[in-house]
Amino acid sequence: LTGCFFSGLCLSQSTWAQKGNLNPPRITALPGSTVPPKSHVTLLCQGPGQAEGYKISKVGSPEPTEEEEQITPRKTNTLRIAEMTMDKAGLYHCSYQRGGRWSQFSDPLQLVMTGAYEKPSLSSVAGTVAAPGENAKLQCFSKINYEVFILTKDGDHITQNQSSTPQDRGRQTIFLLSPVSSTQAGTYRCYGAFRDNPYRLSTVPCKGHVTLLCQGPKQAEGYKILKVGSPELMDEEEQIPPRKTNPLRIADMTTDQTGLYHCSYQRGGRWSRFSDPLQLVMTGAYEKPSLSSLAGTVAAPGENVKLQCFSKINHDVFILTKDGDHITQNQSSTPKDRGHQTIFLLSPVSSTQAGTYRCYGAFRDNPYVWSQPSDPLQLQVEVYIYIYIYTHVRLSLAALLLLAMVVLLAEAWCSRGGGPSGGSVQRAESKPCPQACTTCYFPVGAGA
């Protein structure tokens, strides 16, 4: 770990200890966080035994909610959703009360409704039985033009999440498990989704600065930018009051400032709903991994490209970004040469996948703190390679055809005794020709 990471972590811990804030609870979903339509799910908030009340709310709900929407403090720590619908999907978090104070909110739980669209197909390109060390490719395909596909293992555990590519009037993603081990045996499913409500991402180097901008209507009377999970009742020095200006500047990025942020504006004395969350990530906490292409950095359309991200640090996950902060893939790592690696598969590549790629390493218990970025890898997808090969093959075939015609004409001329009209032809003995030539008899003179 770098010194930067340790200083940020110590600052975060000491700040919480000095201010006496209550530790955040943990929120889970039973039986799971992926819920079919009209099915039920129970959200469970796990706090200390001394908790006096609990509050479970959807991230983005405005502070002054309607009376019928208000979730009041209660002794029970569960929220039951009897019938899952699209408007109930989203991020949820919870808080508990003790000694008249509210804790920090838990990390968000993403509640997903499945079954909104037709199911995709999932198949193994080379069969469902693999030996340790082999590569396994799982193809998720749908006639619906999903923007992303998600691969889960043994329930809700997401192993990969990556963009789709066009295929046979539909969309597909090929998930690569490389190399497979006994820990990857299990039951896999894939889902299709759209990017209507993605986590927007902003990466900031350790000790760097960043400004968060809240964009509301011109009639806005004030703005509030908050970190998702901040307790409702904050200390006076932590309170961010409504203001006319809509930026929030973080001058010195540390680990305790990472996470999800959202904002709201005030108009006519009422607060708007919160914006979609922005994911603020601090990079530079660990040494950079390496990113390499297993078959070169120039590819023709339709080929498969494998990008290997490797680190001596045992990161749980690796993240692949393209042209800045755009995440293209996020997947679990596997052990490799006393470190960990992930092989990202781009299959099949197209011109839209050309660009500059970087990868980062991270841990699941601290998902907003990433390593330094790898050195950039420039991937070129060039159509002219196909054109060159096609042209080269055509020219080669034309040359072979011309050579064959010359040989046939020569043989025909020789067999008929080609020479001056009316003359007799003497034939010499057969002489060995060069190996690449066809044996033939050449005229050596005319008869008297």
Residue 40 to residues 83, 136, 176, Cα–Cα distance (Å):
5, 35, 33
DSSP code of residue 108? P
Check whether 443 has a pLDDT greater than 50: no
How many other CB atoms sit within 10 Å of the CB of residue 414?
16
pLDDT given for residue 360 in this prediction: 96
User: Mean pLDDT throughout 23-34?
Assistant: 90
Q: Which of 145-154, 215-224, 285-294, 406-415 has the lowest mean pLDDT?
A: 406-415
Q: Judge contact between 132 and 178, C-beta under 8 A.
A: no
Q: Judge contact between 246 and 267, C-beta under 8 A.
A: no
User: Mean pLDDT throughout 69-78?
Assistant: 61
Residue burial 32-55, b: 16+ Cβ < 10 Å; e: rest: ebbbeeeeebebbbebeeebebbb
Report how far residue 312's alpha carbon sits from residue 359's, in angstroms, rounded to the nearest whole number: 14
**DSSP annotation string for 385-414:** HHHHHHHHHHHHHHHHHHHHHHHHHHHHHH
Domain boundaries, the chain: 3-114+207-283, 287-382, 387-446
For the domain spanning 287-382, the CATH number is 2.60.40.10
pLDDT given for residue 242 in this prediction: 54
Q: Judge contact between 223 and 214, C-beta under 8 A.
A: yes
Check whether 46 has a pLDDT greater than 90: yes
What SS3 state is found at 34? strand
Residue range 177-229, pLDDT digits in tens: 888 888 889 999 999 988 765 557 788 999 999 999 998 898 998 898 988 87
Q: CA angle at residue 149 from 145 to 152, to 5 degrees?
A: 150
CATH topology identical between 3-114+207-283 and 287-382: yes
Q: What are phi and psi of 438, to 5 degrees?
A: -90, 135
**DSSP annotation string for 299-352:** E-TT--EEEEEEESS--SEEEEEETTTEEEEEEE-EEETTEEEEEEEE-S--GG
179 prior amide bond cis, ω within 30:
yes
Check whether 358 has a pLDDT greater than 90: yes
55 versus 326: which is more confidently predicted?
A: 55
Residue keyed to tokens 């010359």: 406
For residue 432, name the pLDDT band (cuts at 50, 70, 90). Answer: very low
352 versus 85: which is more confidently predicted?
A: 85
Q: CA angle at residue 197 from 195 to 198, to 5 degrees?
A: 70
Closest CA to 162 of 327, 310, 373: 327
| Mean pLDDT, rounded, of the chain | 80
Residue keyed to tokens 């023709």: 300
Report how far residue 31's alpha carbon sits from residue 331's, in angstroms, rounded to the nearest whole number: 24
Closest CA to 447 of 422, 423, 415, 418: 423
238 versus 112: which is more confidently predicted?
A: 112
Q: Judge contact between 43 and 78, C-beta under 8 A.
A: yes
Domain topology for 3-114+207-283:
Immunoglobulin-like (2.60.40)
Closest CA to 203 of 374, 11, 9, 332: 374
What SS3 state is found at 15? helix
Q: Which of 33-47, 260-274, 406-420, 433-447 has the lowest mean pLDDT?
A: 433-447
For residue 6, name the pLDDT band (cuts at 50, 70, 90). Answer: very low
Token duo for residue 252: 């010195």
Token duo for residue 205: 């180097």
Report how far residue 232's alpha carbon sits from residue 104's, in angstroms, rounded to the nearest whole number: 8
Report how far residue 341's alpha carbon sits from residue 161's, in angstroms, rounded to the nearest whole number: 16
Percent of the chain at pLDDT exceeding 70:
77
What SS3 state is found at 107? coil
Check whether 343 has a pLDDT greater than 70: yes
- Bridge partner list, 366: 363
For residue 244, name the pLDDT band (cuts at 50, 70, 90). Answer: low
Beta-sheet pairing, 200-205 with 222-227:
unpaired
Q: Judge contact between 16 and 254, C-beta under 8 A.
A: no
Token duo for residue 337: 């040469």
Residue range 78-129, pLDDT digits in tens: 999 999 998 898 889 999 999 888 888 888 888 999 988 889 999 998 889 9
Residue keyed to tokens 């009422």: 270
